[in-house]
């Protein structure tokens, strides 16, 4: 079996977890602080506020900006449902642009959605590739919008300008079990705005400034030292992991580039792609449809994923939700029907990558 993701916990994680258990301080403490330091430098930001998952990171960022019911947030229609749920949880209204060939929010689709209730734009760096941040930031600045980055899939990805994702306003990362750096459940918000950072630290901890002094109705979004101990050692290995993912992606693309009816993912020029997923797309010219290709992968014990099978709003619970405005995102809807992710993770051996290539080529008659 060649799995789509593989979780390996190193000896360093085991040692640090045992250390936490031995010291007996399991909740938020010194290791969370260390984790925050690593996250701040990952996102080239002054501050990092660790939270218990990526969804609460997004909620915290929206709340910290003072976004209120009736305010609108523009995001991508091709994303994990958490992006939408976080906006709704914070009480805001969500609107969707469309995606470009990089599967990220197309800057050209944003402007038509902006009105006097629009407060923020929330690009998602899908599959580990930064969205077109120079264009998105320029629109946001011109129209007075906040930028919240959903960087849940993009630890250490960089933009065409060489900037870290998560450094453009408020950066939200997830450390869920299958992300490129993980601790089971965890999240962080990064920012260089001291006032927002302060507000988020308070909101994270029941709205409490000092013991039993409450400034605002807050949450318990705290991360545990136990979880931080799992994440911290992975920062030392992340360069090697990204290099291995890049090599696997390059090998896959070299092997699949000429297959009729298959479009390999494009690493946009200058952007530092970290290959959370390697996602191909089938066109009408393919000799089998997506289900046919999946059958071949299953038969040959090759893992796969569809991220995501529908535009994120395309479910009854969102179609009928008063906080969801659907303007129509035809490219996202079409891509959702034809995309397929193949294994690209850092633990793959070269001959496993070659097996993936062979099976896909054979299924598509190449």
Ligand X SMILES: *Cc1c(COP(=O)(O)O)cnc(C)c1O
In angstroms, give the least distance from the CB of 237 to ligand X: 20
- Cα(31)–Cα(14) distance, rounded to whole angstroms? 14
Give whichever of 79 and 93 is closer to ligand X, judged by the CB atom: 79
The residue at minimum Cβ distance from ligand X is 54
In angstroms, give the least distance from the CB of 53 to ligand X: 4
Interacting residue ranges for ligand X, rule: CB under 6 A: 53-55, 79-80, 82-83, 124, 150, 152-153, 174, 176, 187
DSSP one-letter string for 206-217: TTEEETTEESS-
Give whichever of 83 and 109 is closer to ligand X, judged by the CB atom: 83
Reduced to 3 states (helix: H, G, I; strand: E, B; else coil), residue 278 is strand
Of residues 39, 43, 16, 301, the one with CA closest to residue 187: 39
For the chain, how far is it from start to end, CA to CA, in angstroms?
A: 23
In angstroms, give the least distance from the CB of 176 to ligand X: 4
Q: Which tokens is 217 given? A: 């109705």
In angstroms, give the least distance from the CB of 79 to ligand X: 5
Give whichever of 92 and 262 is closer to ligand X, judged by the CB atom: 92
Give whichever of 45 and 79 is closer to ligand X, judged by the CB atom: 79
Give whichever of 176 and 235 is closer to ligand X, judged by the CB atom: 176
Buried (b) or exposed (e) across 202-214, using 16+ Cβ within 10 A?
bbbebebeeeeee
Beta bridge partners, 262, equal: 282
- Cα(153)–Cα(103) distance, rounded to whole angstroms? 13
Give whichever of 65 and 105 is closer to ligand X, judged by the CB atom: 105
Instruction: Report whether 60 contacts 212 (CB < 8 A).
Output: no
Give whichever of 203 and 357 is closer to ligand X, judged by the CB atom: 203
Q: Torsions phi, psi of 96, nearest 5?
A: -120, 130
Give whichever of 79 and 129 is closer to ligand X, judged by the CB atom: 79
In angstroms, give the least distance from the CB of 293 to ligand X: 23
318 membership: H or E segment, kind and range:
helix 316-319
In angstroms, give the least distance from the CB of 189 to ligand X: 12
In angstroms, give the least distance from the CB of 81 to ligand X: 8
DSSP one-letter string for 68-118: -TT-EEEE-SSS-THHHHHHHHTT-EEEE--B-TTSSB-GGGTGGG--TTE
In angstroms, give the least distance from the CB of 125 to ligand X: 8
């Amino acid at each position: 079996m060649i799995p789509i993701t593989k979780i390996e916990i190193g000896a360093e994680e085991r040692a640090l977890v045992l250390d936490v258990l031995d010291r007996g301080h399991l909740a938020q403490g010194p290791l969370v602080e260390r984790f925050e330091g690593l996250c701040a430098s990952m996102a080239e930001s002054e501050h990092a506020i660790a939270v218990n998952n990526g969804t609460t990171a997004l909620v915290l960022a929206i709340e910290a900006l003072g976004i209120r019911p009736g305010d609108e947030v523009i995001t991508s229609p091709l994303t994990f449902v958490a992006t939408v749920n976080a906006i709704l949880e914070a009480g805001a209204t969500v609107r969707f642009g469309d995606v470009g060939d990089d599967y990220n929010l197309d800057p050209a689709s944003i402007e038509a959605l902006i009105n006097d209730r629009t407060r923020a734009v929330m690009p998602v760096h899908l599959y580990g590739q930064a969205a077109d941040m120079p264009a998105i930031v320029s629109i946001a600045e011109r129209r007075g919008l906040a930028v919240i980055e959903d960087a849940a899939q993009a630890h250490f990805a960089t933009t065409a300008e060489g900037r870290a994702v998560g450094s453009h306003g408020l950066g939200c990362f997830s450390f869920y079990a299958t992300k490129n750096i993980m601790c089971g459940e965890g999240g962080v918000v990064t920012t260089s705005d001291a006032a927002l950072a302060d507000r988020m630290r308070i909101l994270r901890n029941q709205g409490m400034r000092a013991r039993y002094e409450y400034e605002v109705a807050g949450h318990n979004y705290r991360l545990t030292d136990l979880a931080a101990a799992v994440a911290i050692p992975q920062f030392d290995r992340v360069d090697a992991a990204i290099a291995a993912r890049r090599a696997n992606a390059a090998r896959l693309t070299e092997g699949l580039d000429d297959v009729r009816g298959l479009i390999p993912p494009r690493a946009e020029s200058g952007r530092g792609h970290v290959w959370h997923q390697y996602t191909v797309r089938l066109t009408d010219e393919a000799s089998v449809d997506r289900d046919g290709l999946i059958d071949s992968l299953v038969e040959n014990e090759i893992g796969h994923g569809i991220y995501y099978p529908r535009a994120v709003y395309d479910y009854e619970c969102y179609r009928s939700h008063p906080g969801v405005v659907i303007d129509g995102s035809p490219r996202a809807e079409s891509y959702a029907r034809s995309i397929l992710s193949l294994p690209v993770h850092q633990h793959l051996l070269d001959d496993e990558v070659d097996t993936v290539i062979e099976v896909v080529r054979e299924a598509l008659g190449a």
